[in-house]
Amino acid sequence: SQQGEEDPQALSIQEGENATMNCSYKTSINNLQWYRQNSGRGLVHLILIRSNEREKHSGRLRVTLDTSKKSSSLLITASRAADTASYFCATVPAIQGAQKLVFGQGTRLTINP
């Protein structure tokens, strides 16, 4: 079964607005990662946050992690049309020998010009 659940499944906003996507997961994790997928393309790694970190920034991206609630959020500020894509969270479970990324179902983000 999927480790991560993402919310919302689809999000449509105006260019320049901020976009927030949420991810919940079930088991303890080593780290959590966010990926972007443009239509018909492979996934591109955006940012990684470790289990002992609470917040991380990269350009217009801000990721938070709340391990007590087993949840994370991805904030994209000042959105652009080029940000239109699907966004996935993925976790690396903190289980001995677990060497895999477990993905959520993704959020489809549309930025309207």
Site residues, another protein (CB under 8 A):
2, 4, 30-31, 33, 35, 40-45, 48, 50, 88, 90, 92, 99-106
CB of 17 to another protein, least distance (A): 26
Length of the chain: 113
In sequence order, which residues have a C-beta less than 8 Å from that of residue 68 and are 6 or more positions away?
none
Nearer to another protein by Cβ, of 59 and 113: the residue is 59
DSSP string covering 83-104, please?
A: G-EEEEEEEEE-STT----EE-
CB of 15 to another protein, least distance (A): 27
CB of 31 to another protein, least distance (A): 6
Identity of the residue, 9 or 18, whose beta carbon is nearer to another protein in the bound complex: 9
Choose between 50 and 80: whose C-beta lies nearer to another protein.
50
Min dist. Cβ of residue 65 to another protein (A): 14
| Nearest CB to another protein, comparing residues 27 and 112 | 27
Q: How far apart are CA 17 and CA 77, in angstroms?
A: 7
What b/e string do you get for 58-81 counting C-beta neighbours within 10 Å, with b at 16 or more? eeebbbbbebeebbbbbebeebee
